Amino acid sequence: MARVLFFEKPGCIGNGEQKRLLRAAGHQLEVRSLLAEPWSAEELRRYFGTLPVSDWFNRTAPGVKSGTVVPERLSETEALRLMLADPLLVRRPLMRVGEERRAGFDPAGVDAWIGLTPAALGRDLEICPSTGAEPCDETPA
């Protein structure tokens, strides 16, 4: 199984479920706070691969929800500048296995990449279980 570097928002219920599923599939996780990591634009950019800029964003981040940040109107450079200033804007989780990096948690994509148990497939694991928002921004009390 894989050794996964997993960047989360500490306390995020959705990230907790994603970690549980990865561990159930036999993966070893090294968990870090997305918010505390000293990101550079170059390193953060590597996690987004070929995703369009609008898919780099956490749609429930306060700036996106309020309309202050409109991901569809941003260039890569603008998006990265905003994310470095406010890591809550980054779509979670960020995961790295070896040299390959990914943003978000699409179960079918993760299964094809490193493998998941059948129970994880067909579920939307970027929907917050406590609010139904996408992705989870709830922190348990």
Domain membership of residue 30 as a residue range: 3-120
Residue 103 lies in a domain: yes
In a domain, 132, yes or no: no
- Per DSSP bridges, beta strands 94-97 and 100-103 are antiparallel
Question: Rounded to whole angstroms, how far apart are CA atoms 4 and 29?
Answer: 5
pLDDT score of 136 more than 70: no
Quick check: is 38 in a domain? Answer: yes
Closest CA to 91 of 29, 34, 28: 34
Any domain includes 95: yes
Q: Which residue has the higher pLDDT, 28 or 130?
A: 28
pTM over 0.75: yes
* % of the chain beyond a pLDDT of 70: 84
Please state, for a pLDDT cut of 90, what percent of the chain lies above it. Answer: 82
**Residue 135 is assigned to a structural domain of this protein:** no
CATH of the domain at 29: 3.40.30.10
The answer to which of 22-36, 44-58, 100-114, 118-132 has the lowest mean pLDDT is: 118-132
In three-state secondary structure terms, 11 is: coil
Which residues have a catalytic role annotated? Answer: 12
The predicted model gives 110-119 an average pLDDT of 88
Which pLDDT belongs to residue 117? Answer: 81
pLDDT digits (tens, 9 = 90+) for 56-104: 999 999 999 999 999 999 999 999 999 999 999 999 999 999 999 999 9
Give a yes or no: residue 139 inside a domain: no
Average the pLDDT over 118-138 and give the result.
56
Q: What is the pLDDT of residue 140?
A: 39
Average pLDDT estimate for 17-31: 96
Q: Nearest-CA neighbor of 5 among 33, 37, 29, 40?
A: 29
Q: Yes or no: say if 116 and 17 are a contact pair by the CB < 8 Å rule.
A: no
87 in a structural domain: yes
- Rounded CA-CA distance 17/137 in Å is 13
Q: Give how many domains the chain has, as a whole number.
A: 1
Residue at 57 is within a domain: yes
Q: What is the C-alpha separation between 140 and 130, in angstroms, rounded?
A: 9
